[in-house]
């Protein structure tokens, strides 16, 4: 099918879908026949729309502007000022000013758009990606790809059903240094991998007092809220700080941490959820408008292997030269990756046996465009299913934490003694307690949330015996911003 034919096909599909909707027959806002196109010819520039262009969306723009094979034809943002200024800047660099649209639903009606990239807050990722896929677009969606476990799986299903290419914004997956390191350990370079430790040691100051703040006048708050419940703005800063409120964000575990969670899962070579999860922690050192933990330990049990994750938002020294990174422990050595692309492998005596380096976001974008041109999701380095599984490991940790009982730090060691792998648990807690003390937290008297240990049916992606936990695998969507059910994707 030629490019022109493809556009008419899509146009017809949209019209057919609109007609179906008016007859009350549409299954969802954007449900239509999947595009059957083989894509544009290699000489055609792909038309991209960037959705959410404040912080990370600005990086999407830069990465796309670095390429000669993609043009930014549209941008979409619910903040008029952010959208207008980004549009003007793109115009200066690109020579053509992209069309600025505020409502993603309107954007997706435009059949000239081939690619949609999404850098909105987390609570919009899955719905935006799913609607874009249904509208026949290929998608680059930021991490975490979901705000809850269930909607992430829906996007995977929709991508497959509609034959769309969906890349996750976990760019480490395309860095040559990281790829070499993963191959090294998968080839047995440090023996059998036993523990993958993810560290997210990143200073996060207070976001200011909880209150009721005015909505900035240039913002369409209804569109910003999307699937989230109608609530006033309770944090001082409108953009970015939503990461620390549960209705929109997933804490640092689902912010910075998802990159390292993904690397840990990759290191363990696991393509499904864990058998068991437990998490503990709290928001220590200040009281503010934030709700998510700034100090959190998450342990995923994969039978013979463990994934142990630490989030620290207060001032902290590094562990084995790692602030944000991973430490993988094997039966014959270890691997320490202290950035998105570089690190070292050590023998059991601590001698360096191999070094790794090389990266840059451009690799990930090139990989996405190649897969789009080839119409083959198997070529993706971070296919949506990878993004879904790693995002889900973060959500599961947060579910355990949020269902936890409140206990004083002084009781924690005793409470952890019956946990599987308790020697490592004890050591991790000990280091966490020292870290908190160094930040003047009175650890013994401080209240921790000690999460439930939750058993999982890893394949079904549900909990085995907790209705409360199962209910947190999804959310109540605010109409009409509803992620469709499996039957209706």
Ligand X SMILES: NC(=O)c1ccc[n+]([C@@H]2O[C@H](COP(=O)([O-])OP(=O)(O)OC[C@H]3O[C@@H](n4cnc5c(N)ncnc54)[C@H](O)[C@@H]3O)[C@@H](O)[C@H]2O)c1
Q: Under the rule (CB under 6 A), what is the footprint of ligand X?
A: 51-57, 76-79, 82, 104, 119-122, 124, 142-143, 169, 171, 223-224, 226, 239-240, 255
Q: Coil, strand or helix: which one is 325?
A: strand
Query: Between 81 and 272, whose beta carbon lies closer to ligand X?
Result: 81
User: How many Cβ atoms from other residues are within 10 Å of residue 73's Cβ?
Assistant: 20
**Min separation Cβ 85 and ligand X, Å:** 10
Q: Which is nearer to ligand X, 366 or 439 (CB)?
A: 366
Q: How far is the CB of 269 from ligand X (least distance, A)?
A: 23
Nearest Cα neighbor of 98 from 61, 126, 62, 73 is 73
Instruction: Using alpha carbons, select from 74, 71, 86 the residue that is nearest to residue 49.
Output: 74
CB of 172 to ligand X, least distance (A): 9
First-last CA distance in the chain: 25
Given a contact cutoff of 8 angstroms between Cβ atoms, the answer to whether 393 and 148 are in contact is no
**C-alpha distances in Å from residue 234, one per residue of 112, 241, 269, 321:** 39, 10, 41, 37
3-state secondary structure of 307: strand
Q: In 111-221, at which residue ranges do the beta strands (DSSP E only) sit? A: 115-118, 138-141, 166-168, 193-201
Question: How many CB atoms are located within 10 Å of the residue 142 CB?
Answer: 26
Q: Copy the structure tokens of residue 3.
A: 């490019």
CB of 162 or CB of 259, closer to ligand X? 259
Alpha carbons 294 and 199: distance in angstroms, whole number: 13
Q: Is 225 or 433 the residue whose CB approaches ligand X more closely?
A: 225
Nearer residue to ligand X within complex by CB, 143 or 363: 143
CB-nearer residue toward ligand X: 107 or 267 = 107
Minimum gap (Å) between residue 480 Cβ and ligand X? 13
Nearest approach in angstroms of CB 280 to ligand X is 24
Cα radius of gyration (the chain)? 23
Q: Provide the pairing of β-strand 295-301 with 276-282.
A: antiparallel
In whole angstroms, how close is the CB of 121 to ligand X at the nearest point? 5
Report, in Å, the least distance between residue 241 CB and ligand X: 8
Task: Give the distance, in angstroms, between the CA of residue 471 and the centroid of all CA atoms in the same chain.
Answer: 21
Instruction: Please say which residue, 144 or 451, places its beta carbon nearer to ligand X.
Output: 144
Q: How far is the CB of 152 from ligand X (least distance, A)?
A: 13
Q: Give 79 or 151: the residue with its C-beta nearer to ligand X.
A: 79
């Amino acid at each position: 099918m030629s490019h022109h034919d493809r556009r008419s096909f899509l146009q017809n599909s949209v019209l057919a879908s609109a007609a179906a909707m008016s007859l009350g027959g549409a299954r969802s806002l954007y449900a239509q026949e999947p595009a059957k196109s083989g894509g544009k010819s290699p000489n055609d520039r792909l038309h991209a729309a960037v959705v959410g262009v404040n912080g990370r969306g600005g990086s999407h723009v830069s990465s796309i502007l670095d390429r000669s094979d993609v043009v930014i034809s549209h941008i979409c943002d619910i903040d008029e000022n952010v959208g207008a200024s980004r549009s003007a800047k793109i115009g200066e660099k690109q020579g053509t000013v992209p069309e600025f649209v505020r409502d993603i639903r309107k954007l997706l009606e435009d059949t000239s758009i081939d690619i949609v990239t999404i850098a909105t807050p987390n609570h919009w990722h899955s719905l935006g990606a799913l609607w874009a896929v249904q509208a026949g677009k290929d998608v680059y969606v930021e991490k975490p790809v979901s705000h809850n476990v269930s909607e992430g799986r829906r996007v995977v299903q929709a991508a497959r059903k509609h034959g769309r290419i969906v890349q996750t914004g976990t760019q480490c997956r395309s860095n040559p240094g990281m790829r070499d390191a993963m191959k090294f350990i998968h080839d047995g370079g440090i023996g059998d991998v036993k523990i993958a430790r993810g560290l997210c040691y990143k200073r996060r100051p207070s976001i200011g007092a909880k209150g009721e703040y005015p909505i900035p006048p240039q913002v369409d708050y209804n569109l910003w809220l999307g699937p989230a419940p109608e609530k006033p703005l309770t944090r001082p800063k409108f953009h970015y700080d939503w990461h620390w409120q549960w209705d929109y964000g997933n804490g640092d575990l689902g912010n910075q941490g998802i990159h390292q969670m993904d690397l840990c899962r990759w290191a363990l070579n696991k393509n499904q959820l864990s058998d068991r999860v437990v998490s503990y922690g709290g928001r220590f050192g200040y009281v503010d408008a934030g709700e998510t933990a700034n100090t959190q330990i998450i342990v995923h049990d994969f039978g013979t292997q463990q994934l142990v994750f630490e989030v620290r938002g207060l001032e902290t020294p590094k562990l084995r030269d790692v602030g944000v990174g991973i430490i993988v422990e094997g039966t014959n050595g270890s691997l320490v990756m202290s950035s998105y692309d570089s690190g070292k492998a050590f023998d059991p005596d601590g001698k360096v046996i191999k070094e790794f380096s090389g990266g840059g976001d451009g690799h990930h974008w090139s990989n996405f465009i190649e897969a789009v041109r080839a119409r083959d999701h198997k070529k993706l380095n971070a296919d949506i299913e990878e993004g879904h599984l790693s995002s889900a490991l973060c959500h599961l940790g947060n579910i355990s934490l949020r269902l936890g009982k409140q206990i004083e730090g002084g009781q924690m060691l005793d409470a952890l003694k019956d946990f599987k792998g308790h020697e490592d648990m004890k050591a991790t807690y000990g280091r966490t307690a020292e870290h908190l003390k160094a930040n003047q937290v009175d650890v013994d008297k401080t209240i921790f949330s000690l999460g439930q240990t939750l058993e999982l049916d890893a394949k079904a992606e549900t909990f085995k015996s907790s209705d409360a936990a199962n209910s947190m695998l999804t959310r109540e969507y605010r109409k009409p911003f509803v992620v469709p059910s499996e039957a209706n994707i």
